[in-house]
Amino acid sequence: MKAKQGGLTLIGFLIVLSLALFVAYLGMKIVPIYLNHYSVVTSMQNLAEEPGVASMSEARIRDRLARKFSTSYVKHITARDIVVERGSGLRIVAEYEVREDLIGNMDAVVTFRRVQTLN
């Protein structure tokens, strides 16, 4: 009795390879968007940790945030896009979306909203 040999055929291998390449391609398009958002969050947290930031004017807060965005190489959002809310406390809100071309007319749209309380 002969044992039946099992394995992956050339067609099966090409299908698996094409799926792996597609997932890698999506990762190369999507991961930088989230890394950029992490830089936005870090910049906002660093601003919140600065002493006396709650007593600063809105223009001064935007200037400080613009400098932090510049040193962190943040793109997709600027300090002018940040909303400064004064109420019971001072909060800065970053709400934006990023569109990345994928294939042809297909885009990936990722929306972010981050609220940081300033002390």
pLDDT tens per residue across span 36-46: 999 999 999 99
Q: What is the pLDDT of residue 44?
A: 95
Q: Which two tokens stand for residue 101?
A: 């071309």
Q: What is the CA radius of gyration of the chain?
A: 23
Q: Which residues contact 106 (CB under 8 A, 6 or more apart)?
A: none
Q: What is the pLDDT of residue 115?
A: 95
Q: What secondary structure letter does DSSP report for 14? A: H
What do you get for the CA distance between the two ends of the chain, in Å?
Answer: 79
Residues lower than pLDDT 70 in the chain: none
**What pTM, to 2 d.p., does this model score?**
0.83
Which one, of 118, 41, 53, 106, lies nearest residue 77 by Cα?
41
Q: What is the pLDDT of residue 2?
A: 80
Residue recorded with tokens 């890698």: 24
Q: Which two tokens stand for residue 3?
A: 């044992």
3-state DSSP assignment of residue 109: strand
Is residue 58 within 8 Å of 92, Cβ to Cβ? no
Question: What whole-number distance in Å separates Cα of residue 51 and Cα of residue 108?
Answer: 39
